[in-house]
Amino acid sequence: MTAAVRAERCSKWYGSVLGVSDVTWELGGGVIGLLGPNGAGKSTLMKLMAGLLRPSRGSIQVFGGDPVADVAVRRRIGYSPEHESTYDELTGLELVTSLAHLAGVPREHAGRAATDALAAMGMTEAMNRRVKGYSKGMRQRTKLAATLAHDPDLLILDEPLTGVDPLARTQIIDRIRKLAAAGKTVVVSSHVLYEIEALTQDIVVIYRGQVLAEGNLYEIRKLIDHHPHRIQVECDRPRELAAAMAGSEHVRRVSIDRRGVTIETLEPDRCYDELAVILTEHNLQLRAMTSPDNNLGAVFEYLTGDRGGRASE
């Protein structure tokens, strides 16, 4: 089966400024989260995939073809840019209808396709109003409707959750998951970690134009074997738990604060097993057990070497 996207040592410079550097990447199906801070190269990589940019070096193929030169390839792509600029003079329905037609939907069907796409984004009531009067969230939803109205196989969504209200966020996340379940490939970028986390476990971490890591969130976490895994435990007698755990050879550090006991270990699986035993043996009442390291924020911090804090927003 042809990969949806295949990048081969792909680099892009804007003059002397690096956009992406030497990216070799193959993309199958489902939802893939492209994660990185602002200016990391996410948008450049997405524009390369959408056929808006040509690689300065290397190549990028979408469904086996060149997205810049081959219009038939672009027909299978739905691209939603990060910026808000749209055609303010048009109504939402006119905008999506026009763009659906330009994406290859026959003129007589474009209106229907646009209406359905806008309905899927919860924009039915506002679709006959001009885009000029839309809120940021409505613009975002209209952009997404325009992206999926022509039923593309690859959706490239650059920061699709930026500026949307919680209800719209839920609708968009739900829609993206349905598209992936229907066999579409969806690439979603964000610099906000919990947004990606809500969408997918398959991530690509990009920083300073380079892909630092890719794969399942938990697999990526495993790559960071030099970094201790943290487990936070809330129980009725934290000091007793801390004392019991402190003697274990795999435990690097144990600390107690008002949230409970935080254990740092290099062997998480062994630590979880031992915790279960200690909790049972000491008859400790467990209130909560979380692992902050399962959050994308931690992964991103470790991979980028940013230990100064959670790299988001």
Partner 1 sequence: MTATTLTGWQATTALARLSLRRVLRGKALWFAIAIGLFPCLLAIAWRANSLAGVEAWDRVTVTFALVMAIVAPILVASSLSDEIDDRSAAYLWSRAVPRWTVVSGKLLGLAPVVAGSLVLGLLACWLILGGPTVVSGAEFARALVGFVAGAIGCSAVSALIATLAPRFAVPIAVAWLLLLDATVGALDVGLHAITVSFGTKAIARGDDGLVGPLSLVVITVLALAIACYRVDKIE
53 binds partner 1, rule: CB under 8 A: yes
CA distance 194 to 173: 12
CA distance 260 to 281: 19
Smallest separation, CB 132 to partner 1 (Å): 9
CA distance 117 to 186: 16
Strand order in the sheet with 57-62: 17-27, 5-14, 57-62
Smallest separation, CB 284 to partner 1 (Å): 57
Of 178 and 253, CB closest to partner 1:
178
Smallest separation, CB 26 to partner 1 (Å): 21
CA distance 69 to 125: 38
The strand pair at 251-257 and 286-290 is best described as: unpaired
Beta carbons within 8 Å of 85's beta carbon, 6+ residues apart: none
- Distances in whole angstroms, Cα of residue 172 to Cα of each of 85, 112, 168: 19, 20, 6
233 binds partner 1, rule: CB under 8 A: no
Query: Which residue type does 148 have?
Result: L
- Segment contacting partner 1 by CB under 8 A, of 58-66, 95-103, 120-128, 162-170: 95-103
Q: Which of residues 112-171 bind partner 1 (CB under 8 A)?
A: 112-113, 130, 146, 150-151
- Segment contacting partner 1 by CB under 8 A, of 32-40, 80-88, 166-174, 242-250: 80-88
Smallest separation, CB 87 to partner 1 (Å): 6
85 binds partner 1, rule: CB under 8 A: yes
283 binds partner 1, rule: CB under 8 A: no
- Segment contacting partner 1 by CB under 8 A, of 2-10, 34-42, 89-97, 222-230: 89-97
- Segment contacting partner 1 by CB under 8 A, of 100-108, 218-226, 267-275, 289-297: 100-108
99 binds partner 1, rule: CB under 8 A: yes
42 binds partner 1, rule: CB under 8 A: no
Long-range contacts formed by 237-245: CB under 8 A, 24+ apart: 237/282, 237/284, 240/282, 240/284, 241/278, 241/279, 241/282, 241/284, 244/278, 244/282, 245/274, 245/275, 245/278
55 binds partner 1, rule: CB under 8 A: no
- Segment contacting partner 1 by CB under 8 A, of 68-76, 175-183, 214-222, 253-261: 68-76
DSSP state of 91: B
| Contact between residue 197 and residue 208 where contact means Cβ atoms under 8 Å apart | no
What residues line the site for partner 1 (CB under 8 A)? Answer: 14, 47, 50-54, 71-72, 74-75, 77, 79, 81, 83, 85-87, 89-90, 94, 98-99, 101-107, 109, 112-113, 130, 146, 150-151
